[in-house]
Amino acid sequence: MATIHQLFSAGAETTVTTLRWSLLYMMAYPEIQGRIQREIDDVVGRNRLPNYSDREHLPYTEATLMEIARIASIAPFGIPHVAAQNTTLFGYNIPEETIIMSNIWAIHNDPDTWKDPDMFRPERFLDGDRLAKQPDAYLPFSAGRRVCLGENLARIELFLFFSHCLHRFTFKKPQDSPELSFDGVAGAANSPRFYETEAILRD
Q: What is the pLDDT along the chain (203 residues), one digit of tens a residue?
A: 877 776 676 668 889 999 999 999 999 999 999 999 999 999 999 999 999 999 999 999 999 999 999 999 998 988 788 999 999 989 999 999 999 888 999 999 999 999 999 999 999 999 998 999 888 999 998 877 778 777 888 899 999 999 999 999 999 999 999 999 999 998 768 999 999 999 999 98
pLDDT at 13: 81
pLDDT of residue 2: 79
pLDDT of residue 193: 95
**CA gap 68, 149 in Å, rounded:** 20
Burial 97-129 (b: 16+ CB within 10 A, else e): eeeeebebbebbbeeeebeeeeebbbebbbeee
Single pTM value for the model = 0.90
Q: How far apart are CA 102 and CA 100, in angstroms?
A: 7
Number of folded domains in the chain? Answer: 1
Task: Name the CA radius of gyration of the chain, rounded.
Answer: 18
For CA atoms 192, 194, 195, 199, give the dihedral sign: positive
Running DSSP on this structure, what letter comes out for residue 57?
A: G
CATH number of the domain encompassing residue 40 = 1.10.630.10
Res 4: pLDDT: 77
**DSSP sequence for 141-200:** T-SSSS--TTHHHHHHHHHHHHHHHHHHEEEEPPTTPPPP---EE-SSS-EEPP---EEE
Q: Which domain holds residue 141?
A: 2-201
Question: Residue 59: in which H helix or E strand, if any?
Answer: helix 59-72
CA gap 183, 190 in Å, rounded: 9
The pLDDT value recorded for residue 198 is 97
pLDDT at 196: 97
